[in-house]
A and B are shown apart, each in its own frame.
Chain A
Amino acid sequence: MEIVVKTRALAFASFLDRPVNGTGRLLLLLSIVALLAGGALPLWRISLVAPQYAEGLTLDMYAYQIVAGNNGQDLAEINTLNHYIGMKPIAQADFLEMRVLPFAIGVFALLALRAAIIGRIVTVVDLAVLFLYFGMFSLGSFVYRLYTYGHHLDPQAPMKITPFMPVVVGSQQIANFVQTSLPLAGTICMGAFFMLLVAVLVSSAREARREVV
Chain B
Amino acid sequence: MSIPSRVLVGGGLAAALLVAAACNPPGSRTAASSDTSVAAKSFVPPGEKDEYYLFYSGGHSGQVYVAGLPSMRHISTIPVFAPYSATGYGFDQESKQMLGRFTWGDVHHPGLSQSSGKYDGRWLFVNDNANNRIARIDLRDFKTKQILGPIPNSSGNHGSSFVTENSEYVLVATRFSVPLPKGRYADPSAYKTEFNGMVSGIKIDPKTGEMAVGWQILTPPFNWDLGSTGKGPSSGWAFWTSYNSEMAHEKLEATSTQGERDYAAVVNWRAAEQAVKDGKATMLDGVAVLDPAKVAGVIYFLPVPKSPHGIDTDPSGRWIAASGKLQPVTSVFDFEKIQKAIAAKAFDGEVRGVPVIKYEAVIEGEVPVGLGPLHTQYDGKGNAYTSLYVESAVAKWTLPPWSDAQKKDLNTIISDKIPVHFNIGHLVVGGSDTKEPYGKYLVAMNKLSKGRHLSVGPSQPESSQLIDITGNKMTMLYEAYTEPEPHFAQILKADAIAPIEVYPKAENTHPNAVWDAAQTGVTRSGNKVEVKMVAIRSRFAPDRIDVRAGDEVTIHVTNVEQTTDMIHGLGIIEHDMNVVVDPGETKTVKFIAGKPGVYPFYCTNFCSALHQEMQGYLAVKP
Interface residues of A in 77-100 (CB under 8 A from B): 77, 80, 83-84
Q: Mark A173-209, 1 if CB is under 8 A from B, else 0.
A: 0000000000000000000000000000000000000
When the two chains form their complex, are residues B562 and A77 in contact, meaning their CB atoms are under 8 A apart?
Answer: yes
Q: Which residues of A contact B609 (CB under 8 A)?
A: 84
Q: Which residues of A contact B563 (CB under 8 A)?
A: 73, 77, 80
Give the dominant DSSP class at A's interface: helix
Give chain B nearest CB distance to A89 CB in angstroms.
12
Q: Which residues of A contact B613 (CB under 8 A)?
A: 158
When the two chains form their complex, are residues B610 and A80 in contact, meaning their CB atoms are under 8 A apart?
Answer: no
Chain A: interface residue total (CB-CB under 8 A): 7
Interface residues of A in 54-110 (CB under 8 A from B): 73, 76-77, 80, 83-84
When the two chains form their complex, are residues A76 and B562 in contact, meaning their CB atoms are under 8 A apart?
Answer: yes
Give chain B nearest CB distance to A96 CB in angstroms.
24
Give CA–CA (A84, B611) in the complex, Å: 12
When the two chains form their complex, are residues A84 and B561 in contact, meaning their CB atoms are under 8 A apart?
Answer: no
Give CA–CA (A107, B613) in the complex, Å: 53
Q: Which residues of A contact B536 (CB under 8 A)?
A: 80
CB of B537 within 8 Å of the partner chain: yes
Q: Which residues of B contact A77 (CB under 8 A)?
A: 562-563
Chain B: number of interface residues, binned into ranges = 10 to 19
- Given the known interface contacts A80-B536, A80-B537, the answer about A73 and B610 at a Cβ–Cβ threshold of 8 Å is no
* A73, A76, A77, A83 pick with most chain B CB within 10 angstroms: A73
* A76, A77, A80, A83 pick with most chain B CB within 10 angstroms: A80
Give CA–CA (A116, B563) in the complex, Å: 50
Interface residues of B in 519-562 (CB under 8 A from A): 536-538, 561-562
Q: Which residues of B contact A76 (CB under 8 A)?
A: 562
When the two chains form their complex, are residues B562 and A158 in contact, meaning their CB atoms are under 8 A apart?
Answer: no
Give CA–CA (A171, B609) in the complex, Å: 25
Give CA–CA (A84, B562) in the complex, Å: 17
Give CA–CA (A76, B502) in the complex, Å: 14
Give chain B nearest CB distance to A72 CB in angstroms.
9
Q: Which residue of A lies closest to B613 (CB)?
A: A158
Interface residues of B in 333-355 (CB under 8 A from A): none
Interface residues of A in 142-190 (CB under 8 A from B): 158
When the two chains form their complex, are residues B610 and A158 in contact, meaning their CB atoms are under 8 A apart?
Answer: yes
Interface residues of B in 216-234 (CB under 8 A from A): none
Q: Which residues of B contact A84 (CB under 8 A)?
A: 537, 609-610
Give chain B nearest CB distance to A59 CB in angstroms.
15
Give CA–CA (A83, B561) in the complex, Å: 14
Give CA–CA (A172, B597) in the complex, Å: 51
Q: Which residues of B contact A73 (CB under 8 A)?
A: 502, 562-563
Give chain A nearest CB distance to B110 CB in angstroms.
32
Give CA–CA (A76, B584) in the complex, Å: 13
Give CA–CA (A137, B609) in the complex, Å: 39
Q: Which residues of A contact B502 (CB under 8 A)?
A: 73
Can you list 14 contacts pairing A with B, beta carbon distance less than 8 Å?
A: A73-B562, A73-B563, A76-B562, A77-B562, A77-B563, A80-B536, A80-B537, A80-B561, A80-B563, A83-B537, A84-B609, A84-B610, A158-B610, A158-B613
The 6 tightest CB contacts between A and B, nearest first, are A73-B562, A77-B563, A80-B537, A158-B610, A76-B562, A80-B536
